[in-house]
Chains A and B, each alone.
Chain A
């Protein structure tokens, strides 16, 4: 019985919403000396009985704040340069470039992937592992860089 009622009420709500959407636009109010008839307030959804939460309701960021395309482009250029040095086994050079990128965008997980990979190349496993963990803490699960960091972390741990 309850399910039936719920379905009925839901359907009614949908119908009301559609009707509201199709209703003609109300004319602009005009000034009049005639008093307006009192209007019975329509029932509204339940309101809190007390005051709202204390000022400054603290909430987490809505997802990661994406840097501007221009900053992305600047960082991407540096990271690409770092990976070229990494490919040439110039790990110290790659670290230098990664740190330059880190100064511009210290919360970019790609930076830590490059750093951790370079330190792994230098066989500094503890340092590499911690950098990979930092990168993971800054990346969202399911992203490419998160997967790459997970993979790298596995390789670092496997190399011990």
Chain B
């Protein structure tokens, strides 16, 4: 009776175990993290790109520098020429095959591109820039059995389980062999577990060492083998096995391990690399090749010997592979999160569309606009210039903080973002979350509000830069110019260029606070605005990200577009889930924006931004605006060049005073960024409805080139001065006047 009861209990237990084994193996086996990618670099003739920039990108992608290119993932450099074999990649809009191409460089550009098959455009695969991981922080890239090099599976079985294709999940021969070894040694020196048992232990059970756990493991291994093919079991093992640690993140499976160790896909690995990974199965930490290179090398060589012994490779090939270095990446190749500030923004935007558990487990592929080359430049500029500022002004180390971002003009793609001067560390993201008063950075909105009424204001309209005092909110508001001087009547372009507070305040009050506030909103600011006079001088707290949105609208000639970090989200199976398409809306006319851009160019040529030309060539047209808040607590610069809009903020986290203005602080970082990006001029085409005139602002009259006080200014057609000044001449009149001078003037 007892026996029957025992049999019934055992049978029920077996059924339960069987259900457990099957349900987990057939369901979603792993919680797969979302992987986040940067933009893919498009290569074409004429692309502004220096060879060292491309080399850096290729190195980050794990391309190998070789003497002669023979396959995907390789490049060779010979002077200004580079041979490159790109990797195939499944892009969101289709598959791109690997292509062999020869690039030549000159003048900071790709001057020639030969090969590559059809088309004059080649894409590199996007860089993996981070992930959104499950709580247990396991990271893996799933590989199918047929994607794994045969040498890897064969080598793995030769080392870990030679009888894999013969046993039923448990190998008595292996257990016996291990038992004998362990008794002889008086300790556990050898395991008798098959691959199937190892999979059961890692996939279903814990690492407890007990007879009972071992028995359950053996039964489950038998059940697994009863239901599934050897290939299915091996594939699961290849994806499950633990192969290293990247910070808090656990590297599982050979697909991710290949990226982690070598920054290369599995299919590109050579024998000596495969042998290293196989060797690490025994103990990924113990054989960590960065920490214990000699131990890892010895283990790798042992694996190669075993492979030769089993006839998988010849002894000559094994010897050659043993002569190779470890060939691992300089650092672990898949840093958990090299761009935490950018990724934080991506996560915030994803959170609007996806549940956290899906992001952490569904294996989504998220494609973003981060440009690693631009990001690197911004990080370097912020770090180095802020360091130099601290040294130059003899400030305590680490007193200053900074944030910056760069957006592509027209597409509104956020290409780079740093939230602190030490990028790469998770912390307070000042680029997005720090809201600080913007000071004079807001002034373009005041001038735009004025210029949008061409019947009343033009760039040559005179405004009084005299001191003013008005009652606001129960207090007296008395703005003063930075240098405590007044300048009398000044034309608008000059008041903006020199950032005169008194003139700007008078102008804004004349235009109307409500109209200025409305202009700020139309430029893209979505936060709360208090319509008080101090708003005119930037008494409004914004993040650098919000300021970038405003300046993007200015740079894009009045077309507002929401800034974008994500381009598309795809499933783990590469099915499109969501695109984030470009959107735009015309908020201002191109004509009025042309006038404002003119004013922002005056800032850079003649005003508070002119020190930018110490580092950037005179021939390059720049536009932007400095900003300094009361007591110099914030140093801002926002501006654009070429197709980049850049914003920089420098300040102290305790909101303390600094010896920096917008021009001496943030502008210096901005200039360094733009110089590093080798920018060209701001596009500045004249819209149809704008005419340029030589005028004499002091007399509000038309003048001519070269006359005293004459200035060539753009006007919205019909708004130019009508009065002719003393120096004014009708076109063509000057030749006639010359002859008059030659032959004497006839008196009327």
- Which B303-323 residues have C-beta < 8 A from chain A? none
A151 at interface, CB cutoff 8 A: no
B215 at interface, CB cutoff 8 A: no
Could you tell me if A46 and B590 are in contact, using CB atoms closer than 8 angstroms? no
Q: Considering only CB atoms, which chain A residue lies closest to B593 in the complex?
A: A137
Complex formed: what's the CA distance from A56 to B622 in Å? 11
- Which A66-83 residues have C-beta < 8 A from chain B? 67-68, 70-71, 73-74, 77-78
Complex formed: what's the CA distance from A152 to B584 in Å? 17
Among A18-26, A28-36, A91-99, the stretch that binds chain B is: A91-99
Could you tell me if B683 and A55 are in contact, using CB atoms closer than 8 angstroms? no
- Which B198-257 residues have C-beta < 8 A from chain A? none
B52 at interface, CB cutoff 8 A: no
Complex formed: what's the CA distance from A45 to B598 in Å? 31
- Which B685-737 residues have C-beta < 8 A from chain A? 685-688, 690, 692, 705-712, 714, 727, 734-737
Collect the chain A residues with CB atoms within 8 Å of residue B711's CB.
53-54
Given contacts A96-B579, A102-B410, contact A70 B683 (CB under 8 A): no
- Which A38-52 residues have C-beta < 8 A from chain B? 43-52
Given contacts A58-B601, A60-B692, A71-B44, contact A50 B707 (CB under 8 A): yes
Q: Considering only CB atoms, which chain A residue lies closest to B567 in the complex?
A: A99
Could you tell me if A130 and B584 are in contact, using CB atoms closer than 8 angstroms? yes
Could you tell me if A102 and B685 are in contact, using CB atoms closer than 8 angstroms? no
Given contacts A49-B708, A64-B685, contact A13 B735 (CB under 8 A): yes
Collect the chain A residues with CB atoms within 8 Å of residue B44's CB.
70-71, 74, 104
Given A12, A74, A134, which contacts B121 in the complex, CB threshold below 8 Å?
Answer: A74
Given contacts A46-B734, A61-B684, A74-B120, contact A106 B408 (CB under 8 A): yes
Collect the chain B residues with CB atoms within 8 Å of residue A92's CB.
576, 579
Complex formed: what's the CA distance from A74 to B47 in Å? 11
B46 at interface, CB cutoff 8 A: yes
Collect the chain B residues with CB atoms within 8 Å of residue A78's CB.
121
Could you tell me if B410 and A99 are in contact, using CB atoms closer than 8 angstroms? no
Given contacts A48-B708, A49-B707, A95-B579, contact A77 B567 (CB under 8 A): no
Could you tell me if A99 and B707 are in contact, using CB atoms closer than 8 angstroms? no
**Minimal beta-carbon separation of A109 from chain B (angstroms):** 11
Complex formed: what's the CA distance from A100 to B45 in Å? 16
Complex formed: what's the CA distance from A56 to B411 in Å? 29
Given A60, A77, A106, which contacts B684 in the complex, CB threshold below 8 Å?
Answer: A60
A131 at interface, CB cutoff 8 A: yes
Given contacts A59-B692, A78-B121, contact A53 B710 (CB under 8 A): yes
User: What number of A residues sit within 8 Å (CB to CB) of B?
Assistant: 55
B392 at interface, CB cutoff 8 A: no
Could you tell me if A67 and B46 are in contact, using CB atoms closer than 8 angstroms? yes
Q: Considering only CB atoms, which chain A residue lies closest to B121 in the complex?
A: A74
Could you tell me if A96 and B93 are in contact, using CB atoms closer than 8 angstroms? yes
Complex formed: what's the CA distance from A74 to B714 in Å? 35
Among B60-68, B349-357, B627-635, B738-746, the stretch that binds chain A is: B738-746
B146 at interface, CB cutoff 8 A: no
Complex formed: what's the CA distance from A95 to B583 in Å? 11
Could you tell me if A48 and B707 are in contact, using CB atoms closer than 8 angstroms? yes
Could you tell me if A60 and B93 are in contact, using CB atoms closer than 8 angstroms? no
Collect the chain A residues with CB atoms within 8 Å of residue B558's CB.
137
Collect the chain B residues with CB atoms within 8 Å of residue A131's CB.
582, 584
Given A45, A71, A95, which contacts B581 in the complex, CB threshold below 8 Å?
Answer: A95
**Minimal beta-carbon separation of A85 from chain B (angstroms):** 9
Q: Considering only CB atoms, which chain A residue lies closest to B599 in the complex?
A: A58
Given contacts A58-B602, A60-B684, A104-B42, contact A53 B738 (CB under 8 A): no
**Minimal beta-carbon separation of B171 from chain A (angstroms):** 52
Interfacial residues, chain B to chain A (CB-CB below 8 A)? 39, 42, 44-47, 92-93, 113, 119-121, 408-411, 413, 557-559, 567-568, 576, 579, 581-586, 590, 594, 598, 601-602, 605-606, 618, 621, 643, 681, 683-688, 690, 692, 705-712, 714, 727, 734-743, 746
